[in-house]
């Protein structure tokens, strides 16, 4: 998926926005000729903007034979455009409320099925999500940045300037901060960050989680 900010910014161009709205509202995929005629643009201009919307992940290309025929002599399938199934969301600073909703919902459903406390399940699933999201080639700071925590190194600690679940943490601090701690712990274990641990340390203007690194664990990949 391309950068969601770039994808949304692509719609700032008026003709591109008109084409996107046209395709999104259509009940079936449409061709570049149909799109060009509908918004009164030259075919080449419409094709350029449609393909740019595909590149940005906003539209998808499908190929269909509209004659209903198949086999030799049926002609080449037409290139058609439809709205992408991708979900694009932009939040500045980075927020992950959809991820939190999945974690919380899954925890409630599993709790009802098994009788295990929902909070225990939530913390386990948050840890697993962090571990699954880890890229072993990342340093600690890079891994935290990928999940939107905006890390900043201060001495042997890494402060997290952004909470991806900010408004939820304000309303349900103990629950969400515990989930956050398990998420970061899973991430650190996933990248095998030896000598680096996460703990709860709420402070104004920061995430409730703080990451501590033993002096011997500091390296360019950790502290950059």
Element housing 108 (H / E)? helix 97-114
Cβ-in-10-Å burial (0-12, 13-18, 19+) of 32 comes to buried
pTM: 0.73
Q: What is the mean pLDDT of residues 5-34?
A: 93
CATH class of segment(s) 4-83? mainly alpha
Q: Which CATH class is domain 97-223?
A: alpha beta
Residue-level length of the chain = 224
What pLDDT score does 54 carry?
95
pLDDT (tens digit per residue) in 171-217: 999 999 999 999 999 999 999 999 999 999 988 889 999 999 886 55
With 0-12 / 13-18 / 19 or more C-beta atoms within 10 angstroms meaning exposed / middle / buried, residue 181 is buried
Banded pLDDT at 67 (limits 50, 70, 90): low
Is the pLDDT assigned to residue 219 strictly greater than 70?
no
4-83 and 97-223 agree in CATH topology: no
Collapsing DSSP to helix, strand or coil, 196 comes out as: strand
Q: DSSP assignment, residue 138?
A: S
- Each residue's pLDDT tens digit, 100-152: 999 999 999 999 999 999 999 999 999 999 999 999 999 999 999 999 999 99
The pLDDT assigned to 1 comes to: 56
**Which pLDDT band holds residue 218 (cuts at 50, 70, 90)?**
very low
Domain boundaries, the chain: 4-83, 97-223
């Amino acid at each position: 998926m391309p950068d969601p900010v770039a994808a949304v910014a692509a719609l700032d161009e008026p003709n591109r926005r008109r084409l996107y709205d046209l395709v999104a509202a259509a009940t079936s995929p449409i061709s570049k000729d149909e799109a060009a005629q509908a918004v009164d643009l030259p075919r080449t201009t419409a094709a350029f903007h449609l393909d740019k919307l595909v590149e940005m992940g906003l539209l998808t290309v499908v190929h269909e034979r509209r004659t209903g025929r198949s086999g030799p002599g049926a002609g080449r399938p037409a290139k058609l455009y439809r709205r992408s199934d991708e979900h694009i969301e932009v939040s500045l600073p980075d927020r992950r409320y959809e991820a939190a909703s999945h974690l919380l919902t899954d925890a409630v459903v599993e709790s009802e099925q098994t009788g295990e406390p929902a909070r225990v399940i939530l913390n386990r699933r948050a840890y697993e999500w962090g571990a699954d999201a880890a890229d072993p080639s990342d340093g600690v700071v890079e891994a935290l940045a990928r999940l939107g925590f905006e890390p900043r190194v201060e001495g042997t600690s890494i402060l997290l300037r952004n909470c991806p679940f900010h408004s939820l943490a304000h309303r349900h601090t103990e629950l969400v901060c515990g989930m956050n701690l398990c998420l970061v712990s899973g991430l650190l274990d996933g990248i095998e960050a030896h000598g680096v641990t996460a703990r709860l340390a709420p402070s104004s203007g920061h995430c409730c989680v703080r990451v501590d690194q033993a002096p011997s664990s500091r390296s360019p990949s950790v502290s950059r």
